[in-house]
Each structure stands twice: as structure tokens, then as C-alpha cells.
Chains A and B, each alone.
Chain A
Amino acid sequence: MSKNRHPTKKSGSTSIPRARIGALVITLYLVFLLVPIYWLIIMSFKSNSEILSTFTLFPDNFTLKNYSTILTDPSWYMGYVNSFIYVSLNTVISLLVALPAAYAFSRYRFFGDNHLFFWLLTNRMAPPAVFALPFFQLYSSVSLFDTHIAVALAHCLFNVPLAVWILEGFMRGVPREIDETAFIDGYGFTRFFTKIFIPMIAPGIGVTAFFCFMFSWVELLLSRTLTSVDAKPITAIMTRTVSASGLDWGVLAAAGVLTIIPGAIVIYFVRNHIAKGFALGRV
């Protein structure tokens, strides 16, 4: 590159302003993303009277009362526990069934494979609103209503197809020669799959788990429909408490902030794999 002076010079002279434009775009975009979140965080540290009476960019009287309300009341904090339980269950179930299926789709042709793949994807397209009522009746009839497993299974509707989709892309990136060599070396399928194959696609499993976690964590309609007390997720508790207590904006904001934190932690751990995960995806 340094031998050819002209192009280097040219790119050098034009890329500096371009980099500035890039930085400007990204800064504006991040500000756009963060200002509403900032407003929510600030509100969670204000008392209700301050929220309603004065208009301030920083809390005048910094208070943690809103958070202590949530963290000391079981009807609040159990919502987070419930959400965690069904989200984890859903992630585990989705990965367990999707791994072998994705392997089959990535390695073999079999009767109806393409149709089956599209049919799986159609479940990702099914509006939860369509399924709310039938799910309610189905899980009530097998007496699973208001249990964590019911919500976890219901969320499989959209998470399993997504998991198969992403994993299949990752598995396609693994050369077939590895499978063949392992089989020649006398590995059985199960042993090959667990000891050799799964470690090889660990980043893919991480990315898939992240997406399952994310879509299950943020969903409200199904989880609210399928629970009443024992498994009620935090998102549903928020809507109920808002309507019951009128305008308790401070507590509402604090509850909202607390729902953002788990996601932020998870994304920090998978940040380097997310971009890679999609680059390898199918299509």
C-alpha cells in the first residue's frame, strides 16, 4: 500500500472528513437512542411530587425510594424471579430441540426438508395475538395455566424456529470433513455431537441463546395471558400496578430501569459474537 503513493494520499485526504461525518452520524444516533432511556433513569430517582410539579433535567432531591419500594415488596420483585425462570427454561428447551434439527438441516437432504424449514419459519411469523386465546384454553385444559413451564413452552412458538434458523447458519460454516473424519475415527453420533461438534459452534450457541433470551424477555402478550399470580412476569406486573395505583411514575420508571439491566449485562457478554452470528446466518 505504501509503495503506491497516489491512492494512499487520496484516501488519506478524503477519509478524514468522512470519518468525522461517520462519527457525527453515530453520535447523533446514539443520542437519539439514549435520551429517552436517560429520561426514564432520571425519573426513577425522583419523587412523584418532583416529577409532576417541576421540570428538571437532574433530580433535585435524589431518592432511592422507588427502588426500595420494588426490592422490598415480594409482589414486585417476584415478577423478576418469575421472568427469569421462564426465560431460562425457554432458552434451554429451545436450544435442546433446535441443535439436532439444525444439524439435520445443515447436513442432510431428506423428504420435505425445504417445506419443513419454511413451515418452521411460518411459526416465527405467527402473531402472538392469534395464539393468545387458544394458548390460554390449551394450557388451562392441561392444568398448566399460571406455571412457568407454560410460558416457556408458549414462547417456543417463535424461539425454536429462530434458534433452528441461526444455528443452521453456524453449522453450515463447519466443514463436513470434520464429521466424516470423526465417524471414520469411530465416534458414534451422540459422542461426536456432544464432544466435538457442539464445542466448535459454541459462539453460535451463545448468539442463539442471546436471541432466545431476548425475545422471551421482552414478550408481554403471551406471558400476561398465560399467568395470573404464581408465574406473573415483571412486565405484566408493571401494567397492572400502573392502572391500579394511578400515576406512580417514579416506581414505574424504576421498574422499567430494572428490566433493562439484565439485557444490558447479557449483551455485554456476547457483544463480540453478535455481529459474527448474523454474518453466517442462512439466506
Chain B
Amino acid sequence: MEKTVNQRAWLLVLPVLVLVAFSSIIPMMTVVNYSFQDSFGENIFFWVGLEWYQELLRSERLWDALGRQLLFSFIILMIEIPLGILVALSMPKKGISASICLVLMSLPLLIPYNVVGTIWQVFGRADIGLLGRTLSDLGISYNYSQNAFDAWVTVIIMDVWHWTSLVALLAYAGLRSIPKPYYQAAMIDQASRWNVFRYIELPKMRGVLMIAILLRFMDSFMIYTEPFVLTGGGPGNATTFLSIDLVKMALGQFDLGPAAAFSLMYFLVILLISYVFYTVMITIDKDEAKQ
């Protein structure tokens, strides 16, 4: 479907532009401003140029947090995407059971982030939590607030618990949009279950899976509240992801300059990776349109 050229469409976009400019561009400009200056409190600023950037690029703090962040996003994508597809394939197709599944699965998505953290904080505690208590009764030593590995496992399971349903819902939507004749044709050809998945369902789900991967990547890359409530970034710095580190710097220590420089680099990393994703998606889309 060809779109017509109409420059007046700008008028329709204008409200969004004004609103987003107010809530994005103006604050972003203050961040840029701070990132080049040092302050001694009470609004006295002086120009330091690129000093904060150089200092940050040299400091291990940023690189460590970035490394943890990339590892975390990678792990949860590797778990949540296949698991979400599996769940979507297993869901009932219609009727009351499908409705019940949809409602129950969506529950974790609607729980405020800090309540998610609280739920797992309670659930994993060895004294009062079901999980922690069960594990310690089984003789497995587990303590997410002392042991870095346990903390990581808990944060990852928490994220899988929290967000796999989103992937599953998206994949389910993609599956529902496949017309019946596709399956009938596959049945006539006596295609195996795997081939039905590989050649019909997976290509048809590609669009929604791309959205799922992009959304999960972006949101996992900004994760703050859940690990903050669960572990506070600890033990040590084991679960200090980029956002936690940034908030510590900006609102905790009130180091405006370094925090601003950190913010901009953080944003640029997300932007860069997302841009690559987006471009790939658009290209695939166009290729498909040509066929």
C-alpha cells in the first residue's frame, strides 16, 4: 500500500514533538551541559571539557558495569526468547483455558518493579522464603545476599519470571495470525512438527519476535528497580548494572559531571545497538515486501 506524500502531516505529528521535546530534549541538554562542567555546589560551575569522559573511559567502574550489563542482557535473551516461544506453542488455542492462561501469564507483567523485587527477596530468603527454605533443607547452600553467584542466578530467574510472558504473548499473537490454510497444506504434505515450526510458524512469527527481542534488550539494558530491591547491587558490586551504578553516582554521591558523562555514553550504547537492530528489521521487512 503506497503512502501519499503530504507535508501537512507534520501538523498531526506536532503535539508528539512538542511533548517529547519537553520531556526528552530539554532534560538531555542539561545532561550534556553538566557533562562538560564541574560544580562546587551552590550553582558554581566551570568548564572542564572532556575531562569526565576521559576519566570514565579510563575507570574500571564503567567497563565492569558495562560487562555485567551485556552478560546479563545476553543471558536473559538466550533464556526468555526460546522459553517464550515454547510456552506460546504450548498454549491452548481457544476457549476458556486460553483466556485463563493469558490472564495468569500476564500477571507478572503488571506487578510494579519494586514489588517484583520484594516478591523474590522474600521468596529467596532462607528464613522466611519458600525457595530459600526449600533449598537449604535440601542441603544446598544458597544465599543471594552473600554469594555473588547466587545473586546472579536469582536476578536472572527473577527476570525470566517477570518478562518471559511478554515474549510468550507476542509469539502467541504471531501464531494466532497464521491463516489456517497454511497448516492444512502442511498436513497434506505430511510435514513433521519440526518442519511446520521451522518453515511456517517461525517465519510468520519473525516480526513479533523482532519486537520481543528489541523490547527485552532495551528493558534489560535499563534494568534498575528489581535488582536494586533484591540485592542493592551487591554482594559487593556483583549485580551493579549500569543503571544502578548511574543512580548511585547521580543521586547518591551527587557527582553531576561524571554522572552526566556516564548517562550520555550509556544512552549512546543503547542507541547504537538498537539502531543496528532497527536497521536489520527494516531491511528484512523490505526484502520480504519485494518477494
Q: What A residues does B83 contact at CB under 8 A?
A: 29
State the Cβ distance, B260 to closest chain A Cβ, in Å: 8
State the Cβ distance, B12 to closest chain A Cβ, in Å: 4
Bound together, the chains give a CA A271 to CA B106 distance in angstroms of 9
Name the CB-closest residue of B to A40. B119
| Interface positions of A from 60 to 109, Cβ below 8 Å from B | 93, 96-98, 100-101, 103-105, 107-109
Contact A36 B263 (CB under 8 A): no
Q: What B residues does A228 contact at CB under 8 A?
A: none
Interface string of A271-282 (1 = CB under 8 A from B): 110111111110
Name B13's contact: one of A1, A100, A138, A259 (CB within 8 Å): A100
| Interface positions of B from 1 to 40, Cβ below 8 Å from A | 1, 3-10, 12-13, 15-17, 19-20, 22-24, 26-28, 30-31
Name the CB-closest residue of B to A112. B10
Query: Does residue A182 face the partner (Cβ distance < 8 Å to B)?
Result: no
Interface string of B124-168 (1 = CB under 8 A from A): 000111110100000000000000000000000000010011000
Query: Does residue B123 face the partner (Cβ distance < 8 Å to A)?
Result: yes
Query: Does residue B99 face the partner (Cβ distance < 8 Å to A)?
Result: yes
Contact B90 A235 (CB under 8 A): no
Contact B222 A129 (CB under 8 A): yes
| Interface positions of A from 213 to 244, Cβ below 8 Å from B | 214, 217-221, 225, 234-235, 238-239, 242
Bound together, the chains give a CA A81 to CA B211 distance in angstroms of 33
Given contacts A125-B274, A271-B103, A281-B208, contact A130 B190 (CB under 8 A): no
Q: What B residues does A103 contact at CB under 8 A?
A: 12
| Interface positions of B from 215 to 262, Cβ below 8 Å from A | 218, 221-222, 224-225, 229, 242-244, 246-247, 250-251, 256, 259
Query: Does residue B118 face the partner (Cβ distance < 8 Å to A)?
Result: yes
Contact A129 B224 (CB under 8 A): yes
Contact B114 A125 (CB under 8 A): no
| Interface positions of B from 72 to 109, Cβ below 8 Å from A | 83, 86-87, 89-92, 99, 101-109
Bound together, the chains give a CA A225 to CA B247 distance in angstroms of 11
Q: What B residues does A268 contact at CB under 8 A?
A: 103
Contact B270 A153 (CB under 8 A): no
Which of A221, A234, A272 has the most chain B CB within a 10 Å cutoff? A221
Query: Does residue A128 face the partner (Cβ distance < 8 Å to B)?
Result: yes
Q: What A residues does B30 contact at CB under 8 A?
A: 134, 137-138
State the Cβ distance, A242 to closest chain B Cβ, in Å: 8
| Interface positions of A from 115 to 146, Cβ below 8 Å from B | 116, 118, 120-135, 137-138
Contact A131 B27 (CB under 8 A): yes
Which of A21, A129, A218 has the most chain B CB within a 10 Å cutoff? A129
Bound together, the chains give a CA A128 to CA B246 distance in angstroms of 10
Contact B184 A109 (CB under 8 A): no
Contact B7 A1 (CB under 8 A): no
Q: Is the interface of A mostly helix, strand, loop or mixed?
A: helix
Contact A138 B113 (CB under 8 A): no
Query: Does residue A25 face the partner (Cβ distance < 8 Å to B)?
Result: yes
Given contacts A35-B130, A126-B24, contact A275 B172 (CB under 8 A): yes
Query: Does residue A263 face the partner (Cβ distance < 8 Å to B)?
Result: yes
Query: Does residue B71 face the partner (Cβ distance < 8 Å to A)?
Result: no
Query: Does residue A58 face the partner (Cβ distance < 8 Å to B)?
Result: no
Name B110's contact: one of A23, A253, A266, A281 (CB within 8 Å): A266
Q: What A residues does B224 contact at CB under 8 A?
A: 127-129, 221
Name A127's contact: one of B28, B102, B208, B266 (CB within 8 Å): B266
Contact A220 B112 (CB under 8 A): yes
Q: What A residues does B109 contact at CB under 8 A?
A: 214, 218, 263
Q: What B residues does A111 contact at CB under 8 A?
A: 7, 10
Q: List the interface of chain B (C-beta within 8 A of A).
A: 1, 3-10, 12-13, 15-17, 19-20, 22-24, 26-28, 30-31, 83, 86-87, 89-92, 99, 101-115, 118-120, 122-123, 127-131, 133, 161, 164-165, 169-170, 172-174, 176-177, 184, 187-188, 190, 193, 207-208, 210-211, 218, 221-222, 224-225, 229, 242-244, 246-247, 250-251, 256, 259, 263, 266-267, 270-271, 274-275, 278, 281-282, 285
Q: List the interface of chain A (C-beta within 8 A of B).
A: 1, 4, 7, 10-11, 14, 18, 21-23, 25-26, 29-30, 32-37, 39-40, 43, 51-52, 55, 57, 93, 96-98, 100-101, 103-105, 107-111, 113, 116, 118, 120-135, 137-138, 153-154, 156-157, 160-161, 164, 172, 176, 214, 217-221, 225, 234-235, 238-239, 242, 249, 252-253, 256, 259-260, 262-264, 266-268, 271-272, 274-281, 283
